[in-house]
Amino acid sequence: MNLIIDGKKDIDFNFILENPIAMPVSEMNTAFTNVDGRDGSVHEDLGLQDITFSAVLNLFTFNDVYNDVSKMVAALFNANEFTTDTWPFIFKKKHISWSEIANEMGVTAKIQINVRCHPLKFLKNSPTQSFTAAGTVKNTGTYSSKPLLKLYAKGAGASSVTLNGTKFTMNMQKEYVFVDCELLDAYYTTTNMNRFMLGSFPTLKPGDNNLTFDGAIAKIEIEPRCCNL
């Protein structure tokens, strides 16, 4: 198993995993409240908790120990995504910490890392789906996802889009508009287009999601961003 950091393997930095990484699983953050006169507690689900994983990386070539350590630390510090060559998913990093780097006479090095990530595992095989008419958007994950939509205009004017029962309208002022349901943002290149959108940002449930659109939209491309717990 190789740790992959923003698309580069650990061995590219002359490091290798000491042991395979245990696969973390997200848990629900739940608040429990005891109520006088009631059996059991009242609970409220507050969303998924961040997940963490740990790994130990060992230097396996010893030509330039200090330079190799510096390159690995910089890659870890600046990383956005982690995965392995055996996992079908990607973790999105939020924070990383590590212990002191064990070093023996400048010829060996060991780094233990603890990585805090987004609660969900984002699937690597989540291809863009294209539609020129009403159709079915597939979410192959096991959890609801927040897709990225690219709306192509066939002319100016207001158009409606309904995805998984959620409807919004977009006044097509540009050749295309991105609707990012994770960032809750609509834009064209660097131009904010939120003022031309009315309605809610849709999500994709696991499985099939109905898509319809009309008006000035010629085509929609959807990056489903499928994910698992």
In this predicted model, what pLDDT tens digit does every residue of 8-46 receive, in sequence order?
999 999 999 999 998 888 888 888 888 888 888 888 888
In this predicted model, what pLDDT tens digit does every residue of 60-93 receive, in sequence order?
877 788 888 889 999 999 999 999 999 999 999 9
Say whether pTM exceeds 0.85. no
- pLDDT of res. 98: 85
In this predicted model, what pLDDT tens digit does every residue of 125-175 receive, in sequence order?
889 999 999 999 999 999 999 999 999 999 888 999 999 999 999 999 999
- pLDDT of res. 156: 84
Q: Does residue 105 carry a pLDDT above 60?
A: no
Side chain identity, residue 54? S
d(CA 147, CA 48): 18
pLDDT band at 187 (very low <50, low <70, confident <90, very high): very high
* Contacts with 64 (C-beta within 8 Å, 6 or more apart), sequence order: none
d(CA 16, CA 2): 7
